[in-house]
Amino acid sequence: MDYVKFGRSGLDVSRLCLGCMSFGDPQAEGHDWTMQEDEARPFFRQALEAGINFFDTANAYSGGTSEEITGRLLKEMAHRDELVIATKGFFRWKQAPNAGGLSAKALMHAVDDSLRRLGTDYIDLYQIHRLDPAVPMEEIVEALDAIVRSGKVRYLGASSMYAWQFQKLLHLAETAGLKKFVSMQNYVNLLYREEEREMLPLCADYGIAVMPWSPLARGRLARPAAAQETRRSQTDRLQPVLYDRTADADARVIAAVETIAKQRGVPMAQVALAWVLQKPEVTSPIVGATRQSHISDAVAALDLELTSDEIRALEDPYVPHAVTGLFAMPPARLELTLKD
């Protein structure tokens, strides 16, 4: 496993981050394909043995039970000082005023709840899960600064938003002498490359770490377009939001991944992830796992170097897509099912 600096911060993270949305109570609000603690245990063991030290979850995943399982299993298997634990806040955790969003009150409460569920004294990376347009940006950056200075959080990160919004947040924090964001968790894969236009150049210019979510397009890049769907793809409420299953261009991209995978004699997932990893702006893609082979493939992708001809073949079929994955709207108007 390779370790890299997390943007311009002094933090060292593994080249892969294990996404923990797959772990949680399937009866809780969220997804019915998530795994309970005993089923999740081998995945954490495998990730740690592979050298992964970076784990990402969120307070909204499975009603908070993802944080609980992540915290308990990491405490069981590793020393806290060897881990980088990331979580997120924004989505509403119950139907009540101030129970969601990025107001100072909501953020302070959300951080305390995440600390309790994770069973830790501090969070390495706390990320705003989306931008809350109902709260002034000044209030957001001031509240996050106070949380870091309280000792509850070490570093700050953001997630999918427009590049101009992220630049404004960075500017507000810098000019006010507040703690700045060191990372961006955004949506980047071979089926959605719109972040290459503005967000990735912005992150490169500011030295912001990039940790893409869904680098395999929720599994679509890991199997032929005509392959039988998995249980997750059949029940995942975000699939129809993020993808047009009838898009010819997407099918051509998937076919290109399949062709190169056959030529290389490797699974399609390795090719698709290797493409994300070769992008110079990308620090640590977030890889989810519902089978242990998913972690093995992700680790193997670290050693798969694509040629310039292969990269061109993967990229040529792409056509511009409508901007998606932001869900930038007040939490009160956001359905709880829209969780990445």
H or E element at residue 76: helix 65-77
Q: What angle do CA 268, 51, 79 make, to 5 degrees?
A: 140
Q: What angle do CA 222, 223, 228 make, to 5 degrees?
A: 135
**Residue entry with tokens 């809780």:** 28
User: Exposed (0-12), middle (13-18) or buried (19+): which is 140, by Cβ within 10 Å?
Assistant: buried
Q: How far apart are CA 71 and CA 74, in angstroms?
A: 5
Give a three-class secondary structure readout of 117-165. HHCCCCEEEEEECCCCCCCCHHHHHHHHHHHHHCCCEEEEEEECCCHHH
Catalytic one among 61, 155, 192, 318?
A: 61
61 is catalytic: yes
The first and second tokens of residue 141, run together, are: 């950056």
Q: 246, 247, 240: which is closest to 337 by C-alpha?
A: 240
Cα pseudo-dihedral 117, 118, 122, 128, rounded to 10: -80
Q: For 42, which DSSP code?
A: H
Check if the beta carbon of residue 332 is closer than 8 Å to that of residue 99: no
Among all residues, which ones are annotated catalytic?
61
